Amino acid sequence: MKNTRLLLLVVGLLSACGHTENAKENATRPTNSLADSVAAPAPKPQNCQSIVAADKLGKSNVFHESAKPINVTLILDQDTSTTQAANGCYFDNMITVLATKKSGSRVFKRTLLKDDLLYFSKKDEAIEQAILQNVTYKPTFNGQKYITLSMRLINPGSRKTTDYTVFMNYFGEIVKVK
């Protein structure tokens, strides 16, 4: 009786493994459908400009306060998305916020885009037409468990700047935007 149960268990496991292998093979096989053959051609790359100087992109800025047990590193990088303006095309930027404890262990890492501000603002047009120019850490000089960042957006057509203050908790979530 035990041998029969063991044999059925082994056969069941082997057949289950065979089904998952077949499913993996079928999932990786390309399908020839009409939609694939009528796919639109890729858009042509445009000659876009950058608002931020090349020497400032990818540079780490480290901030720490004596009242807080963390260090904050801000890294401004160029995003793959672009914004069209009256005088040309401009690359958008993104900021990577890395918070670490004084010991070096990571608290959180978060990449912020200008689009993250859309959830907290009533003026969507101003944010959509602007480009992230700079982000700075604003010290709070207290033991509160939040990080304050100042995000500066610039409209490439009019060169008008708009500043937003972003409050983030220690989980990397945006709590409030002013």
Q: Using one digit for the tens of pLDDT, what is the confidence trace for 86-132?
A: 888 888 999 999 999 988 899 999 999 988 888 888 878 888 888 99
Q: Is the pLDDT of residue 75 over 90?
A: yes
Query: From the CB of residue 15, how many other CB atoms can be counted at a distance below 10 Å?
Result: 9
- Identify the bridge partners of residue 97 per DSSP, sorted by sequence position: 74, 110
Q: What value does the mean pLDDT take over residues 5-25?
A: 60
Nearest to 64 by CA among 95, 96, 102: 102
Report which of 161, 155, 105, 153 is spatially closest to residue 132, judged by C-alpha positions.
153
**Half-sphere exposure of 165 toward its Cβ, with a 13 Å CA cutoff?**
7
Confidence at residue 34, expressed as pLDDT on a 0 to 100 scale? 45
Closest CA to 61 of 123, 165, 161, 149: 149
pLDDT digits 0-9 by tens, 150-174? 999 998 888 899 999 999 998 999 9
Q: What average pLDDT is seen over the chain?
A: 80
Tell me what the mean pLDDT of segment 24-49 comes to.
Answer: 52
